[in-house]
Structure 1
Amino acid sequence: MTKKQPPVHQSNDKDNNGENIEVWEDIVNIKDLILSIAICTITTLGGYLIAPDDSSKQLMFGLIGVVVGFAICSIIIKPKRTITYVDEEN
């Protein structure tokens, strides 16, 4: 029986030109982070502002805006990491 090692995270060197920061023990690109925050803010506030004047509908439209923003960000911003599993036999 072999013991599985946890995945090793490696970033691609082609996109790493000093514009990355560490957030919650993960490396992110500053431009991608700002772009995703802007997109999610716009879609969330847009959903909230177009909702009818009812507090429960404003909440629901805002939450739908968050999901739409997340979907847009996941399509536009591609992951820049390669995950490899290392199997070591004793």
Structure 2
Amino acid sequence: MRKENNPEEKKNIEVWEDLVNLRELVLSLVICSVTTLGAYLLAPAEPPKPLFFGLAGAIGGFIIVSIIVKPKRTFEINEDED
């Protein structure tokens, strides 16, 4: 178990063994849901079009979220000296 001394870490939750900022997770879910549902509801009533509009809305939401939410992961390269 890890100690949480950093106040920034207290805002994170663990999802699939990765720490995620709860505020950014909720923001991402709201944006993707609104764009997907909005595009679906704007689609004509012909059978394949709501599906394609909804998929386009989901992709649009993903693009918006990827611009707004920046990754916070840092990588450290450790070279072992023999």
Same-fold status (TM-score > 0.5): yes
Higher strand share: 1
Displacement over 3 Å in runs of 4+: none
Q: What is the deviation of 1:79?
A: 1.0
AA aligned to 2:20 is: V
RMSD: 1.8
Q: Equivalent residue for 1:68?
A: 60
Q: What is the deviation of 1:85?
A: 2.2
AA aligned to 1:89 is: E
AA aligned to 2:23 is: K
AA aligned to 1:51 is: A
1:52-73: CA deviation from partner (whole Å, max 9, x where unpaired): 0022110000000011000000
Higher helix share: 2
Q: 1:54 to 1:14 in 2, by over 3 A?
A: farther
The SS at the match of 1:22 is: strand
1:19-71: CA deviation from partner (whole Å, max 9, x where unpaired): 10000111100000000000000000011000000221100000000110000
TM-score by length of 2: 0.85
Matched residue count: 78
Identity %: 51
Q: Does 1:89 align with 2:74?
A: no
